[in-house]
C-alpha cells in the first residue's frame, strides 16, 4: 500500500501529462527493444564480419610479402596492387614508424581488430589509432616492418553511439508530435471543464461548440442539452415564485389597506400586531424570492472595486451606532468583481454582526496573485461549532442563538444566499471562533 501511494504521488495529475508519460514510456521500451535487437543481431555481426574481412586481407598481404623473399621489385608490385584492389596504403620500413604505446589501443573496435590480427599473424604486431585512421605495423623481420594505414570507415562499422544518437533524436521527435497531437485533443475537454465549472457558479458562457473526438463531441452535446434543461427549469421556477410572490403580496396589501381603512379596529389591541405580521410576511416573501433568484446568474460585468471603500459604504447605511474597525495589510486592496454581488454579501454579514454584537473588526488581507481575504470578527454570542456547516442550508434556523438574516428575520435564508453569491463570484466562505469571543466570518475572493 505504501509503494502504491508513493507511485500515485509520482504520477502527474493532468490527463495530458499522464497520457504523455504513458505513451512516452511505451515508445521508450520499444526503442530499447529495437536498439538491443539491432545491436545484437546486426551491429555485432556486421562488426565481426568487417573486422574479419580486413584481417584476412592484411594476412594475405603479409603472407605474399614474406613469400617475395626480399625481392624489392616484386614487393613494390605487390604494394601497388594492394593499393589498387584493397584501398589500403602500404609501405615497408626498417624501423617502427611510431612509438609503441599500449595506451593508444583504447577504442573497443581497435582492441577487437588487434586480437583478431594476433590470432592470424605469427609476428609482432603494433597498432595505433590516430585521427580517425588505424596505423598497423607488422614486424616480419628484425629490420623489416610492413606498415598499413586504414581509414576507420573501411575497417569498422559506425559506432553504436551514433545509433544511440539517432534513437534519441527519433524518440524526442515522436514525443513532440505526440504532445502536439494530444494537446489539441485535450483542448475541447478543458473547455468542457471550464464551461461546466462556470455554469456551476451560475455564469453562462453560451453555447459550447463540439470539437475533438467522437466521444468528446457526444459529451459536449450532452452538456449543452443538460445546461439548457437546467436553465429552463430554473427560469420556470423563478417565474412561478415571482408569480406566487406577486399574488401573495397583492393579498397582503389588500389586507393592510382594509385594516387602514377600517376605523373601528384601529383602536383594538390586535391592530398593531396584525400590521406587524403583515409587514413580516412581506419581508419573508421578499427573502424567498431573493433566494430563488440567486440560483440564476446573468453574466454581469466585473469592475475594479476598492474593498475598503465598499465596506465603508455598507457601514454608512447602518443606523445603529456600533464600534466598527477596519484593518488592512496593503495600501491597495482592490479586486475585479461584480459590485452588486459583493455589496449584498457584505451588507448581509455586517448587518448580522451589528445586530448581535457591540464591537466589530473587519480585517482585509490580500495575498499577491492569490486571494483577498475578508475577516469579520465580532464579540457577539456566536454560533456553536457543530452548527457551522448546517447554517449554510436553506431554511435552517438556530434556536437561542444568532442567525445571519437581513432585517433580523429568522427565515433561515440569509447565510444560504450569502454562500450562493460567494460561490458565484468564485470565492469561498467559512465560519470560525472569533478572537473577540464571538463569530468570525471568513471570505476568500479570487484576485
The b-or-e profile of 347-374 (16+ CB within 10 A means b, else e) is bbbbbbbbbbbeebbbbbbbeeeebbbb
In the predicted structure, residue 241 carries a pLDDT above the cut 60:
yes
Q: Are the beta carbons of 155 and 134 closer than 8 angstroms? A: yes
pLDDT in tens, 429-447: 899 898 888 899 999 888 7
Spatial neighbors of 15 by CB under 8 A, at least 6 apart, are: 186, 189
In the predicted structure, residue 131 carries a pLDDT above the cut 70:
yes
The length of the chain, given as a count of residues: 447
Q: Delimit the domains of the chain by residue range.
A: 12-157, 188-299, 303-446
Q: What is the pTM of this model?
A: 0.50
What does the pLDDT read at residue 222? Answer: 92
Cβ neighbours, 10 Å, residue 300: 15
How far is residue 72's CA from residue 265's CA, in Å, rounded to a whole number? 150
Sequence-ordered strand ranges (E) for 312-427 = 323-328, 334-337, 359-366, 371-378
pLDDT in tens, 387-433: 888 887 777 776 544 444 444 445 566 788 888 888 878 788 899 89
| Cell numbers that stand for 145 in this block | 616492418
Q: What is the CATH number of domain 12-157?
A: 3.30.450
From residue 256, give the alpha-carbon distance in Å to each of 11, 228, 261, 409: 68, 41, 9, 20
Q: Name the nearest CA neighbour of 325 among 419, 249, 188, 436.
A: 436
For domain 303-446, give the fold.
Heat Shock Protein 90 (3.30.565)
Q: Are the beta carbons of 40 and 145 closer than 8 angstroms? A: no
Q: Which residues pair with 373 in a beta bridge?
A: 365, 444
pLDDT in tens, 173-217: 888 888 888 788 888 888 888 888 878 766 777 888 888 778 888
Q: What is the mean pLDDT of residues 331-335?
A: 79
In the three-class reduction of DSSP (H, G, I as helix; E, B as strand; rest coil), residue 412 is classed as coil
Q: Name the nearest CA neighbour of 325 among 355, 356, 361, 359.
A: 361
For cell 628484425, what's the residue?
142
Q: Are the beta carbons of 69 and 144 closer than 8 angstroms? A: no
Amino acid at each position: 500500500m505504501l509503494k502504491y501511494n508513493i507511485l500515485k504521488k509520482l504520477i502527474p495529475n493532468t490527463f495530458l501529462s499522464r497520457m504523455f508519460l504513458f505513451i512516452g514510456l511505451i515508445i521508450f521500451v520499444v526503442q530499447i527493444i529495437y536498439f538491443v535487437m539491432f545491436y545484437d543481431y546486426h551491429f555485432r555481426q556486421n562488426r565481426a564480419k568487417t573486422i574479419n574481412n580486413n584481417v584476412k586481407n592484411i594476412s594475405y598481404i603479409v603472407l605474399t610479402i614474406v613469400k617475395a623473399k626480399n625481392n624489392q621489385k616484386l614487393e613494390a608490385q605487390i604494394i601497388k596492387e594492394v593499393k589498387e584492389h584493397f584501398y589500403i596504403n602500404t609501405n615497408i620500413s626498417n624501423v617502427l614508424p611510431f612509438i609503441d604505446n599500449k595506451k593508444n589501443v583504447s577504442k573497443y573496435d581497435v582492441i577487437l581488430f588487434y586480437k583478431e590480427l594476433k590470432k592470424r599473424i605469427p609476428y609482432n604486431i603494433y597498432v595505433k589509432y590516430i585521427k580517425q585512421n588505424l596505423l598497423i605495423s607488422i614486424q616480419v623481420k628484425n629490420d623489416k616492418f610492413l606498415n598499413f594505414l586504414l581509414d576507420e570507415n573501411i575497417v569498422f562499422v559506425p559506432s553504436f553511439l551514433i545509433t544511440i544518437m539517432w534513437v534519441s533524436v527519433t524518440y524526442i521527435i515522436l514525443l513532440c508530435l505526440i504532445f502536439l497531437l494530444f494537446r489539441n485533443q485535450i483542448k475541447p475537454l478543458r473547455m468542457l471543464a471550464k464551461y461546466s465549472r462556470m455554469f456551476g457558479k451560475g455564469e453562462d458562457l453560451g453555447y459550447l461548440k463540439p470539437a475533438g473526438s467522437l466521444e468528446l463531441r457526444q459529451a459536449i452535446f450532452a452538456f449543452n442539452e443538460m445546461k439548457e434543461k437546467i436553465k429552463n427549469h430554473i427560469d420556470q421556477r423563478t417565474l412561478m415564485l415571482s408569480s406566487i410572490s406577486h399574488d401573495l403580496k397583492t393579498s397582503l396589501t389588500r389586507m393592510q389597506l382594509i385594516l387602514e381603512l377600517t376605523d373601528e379596529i384601529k383602536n383594538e389591541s390586535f391592530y398593531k400586531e396584525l400590521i406587524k405580521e403583515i409587514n413580516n410576511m412581506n419581508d419573508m416573501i421578499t427573502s424567498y424570492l431573493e433566494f430563488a433568484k440567486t440560483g440564476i446568474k446573468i453574466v454581469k460585468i466585473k469592475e475594479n472595486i476598492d474593498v475598503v471603500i465598499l465596506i465603508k459604504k455598507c457601514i454608512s447605511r447602518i443606523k445603529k451606532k456600533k464600534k466598527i474597525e477596519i484593518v488592512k495589510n496593503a495600501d491597495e486592496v482592490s479586486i475585479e468583481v461584480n459590485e452588486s454581488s459583493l455589496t449584498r454579501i457584505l451588507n448581509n454579514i455586517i448587518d448580522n454582526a451589528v445586530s448581535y454584537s457591540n464591537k466589530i473588526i473587519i480585517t482585509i488581507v490580500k495575498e499577491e496573485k492569490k486571494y483577498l481575504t475578508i475577516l469579520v470578527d465580532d464579540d457577539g454570542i456566536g454560533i456553536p461549532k457543530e452548527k457551522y456547516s448546517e447554517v449554510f442550508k436553506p431554511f435552517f434556523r438556530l434556536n437561542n442563538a444568532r442567525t445571519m438574516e437581513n432585517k433580523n428575520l429568522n427565515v433561515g435564508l440569509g447565510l444560504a444566499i450569502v454562500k450562493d453569491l460567494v460561490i458565484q463570484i468564485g470565492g469561498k466562505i467559512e465560519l470560525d471562533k472569533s478572537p473577540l469571543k464571538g463569530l468570525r466570518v471568513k471570505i476568500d475572493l479570487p484576485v
